[in-house]
């Protein structure tokens, strides 16, 4: 078993759908499109200024078997429930055909879940 295959873990490629919220509007529901194996590696930590405060920004590399075909703006959820938004295309970084292992890589950023609203008060929990 190679070091790369030891780092691979199951992840879910998510899809989004608009659903009726029961109050005349719509909400976005996230569901699993398919499951794949991937290695998620932190690439860089940086402190960035957003408006008048500083925030930690992390970028990641997601390595998947060749042919997975992750595309820009897809969302991946790992086994710990963390979500990542793909910020590149798999067609840009992949191993050549003669390599002994066949993988492709994309850049990604960690994203936070939208806070849930308290149904009675309308306040964010």
Q: Which residue ranges form the domains of the chain, and what is each CATH number?
A: 3-111 (2.40.10)
Closest C-alpha to 82, from 54, 106, 62: 62
Average pLDDT rounded to a whole number, residues 107-120:
62
100/116: higher pLDDT:
100
Cβ(31)–Cβ(21) under 8 Å? Answer: no
Q: What pLDDT does residue 117 have?
A: 40
Residue 118 has pLDDT above 60, yes or no: no
More confident residue, 61 or 118: 61
pLDDT for position 122: 45
- Euclidean distance between the first and the last CA atom of the chain, given in angstroms as a whole number: 45
What are the tens digits of pLDDT across the range 68-108?
989 999 999 999 988 999 999 888 899 998 888 899 999 99
Sign of CA dihedral 61, 73, 111, 66: negative
Contacts of 68 (CB under 8 A, 6+ apart): 36, 38, 90, 104
Question: Where does residue 67 fall: left (phi above 0), alpha (psi -120 to 50 degrees), or beta otherwise?
Answer: left
What tokens were used for 80? 């710990």
Say what the pTM is: 0.75
Residue 113 has pLDDT above 70, yes or no: no
DSSP per residue, 31-92? EEEEEEEEEEEEEEEEEEEETTEEEEEEEEEEEEETT----TT-EEE-TTS-EEEE-S-GGG
Per-residue pLDDT of 27-54, as tens digits, reads 888 888 999 999 999 887 777 777 787 7
Contact 36, 9 (CB under 8 A): no
């Amino acid at each position: 078993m190679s070091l790369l295959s030891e780092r691979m873990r199951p992840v879910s490629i998510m899809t989004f759908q608009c659903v009726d919220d029961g109050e005349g509007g719509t909400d976005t529901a996230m569901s699993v499109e398919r499951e794949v194996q991937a290695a998620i590696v932190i690439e860089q930590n940086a402190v960035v200024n957003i408006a008048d405060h500083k925030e930690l920004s992390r970028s990641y590399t997601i390595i998947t078997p060749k042919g997975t075909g992750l595309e820009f703006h897809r969302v991946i959820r790992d086994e710990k429930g963390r979500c990542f938004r793909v910020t590149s295309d798999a067609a840009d970084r992949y191993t050549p055909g003669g390599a002994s292992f066949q993988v492709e890589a994309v850049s990604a950023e960690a994203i936070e879940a939208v806070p849930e609203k308290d149904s009675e008060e309308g306040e964010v929990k």
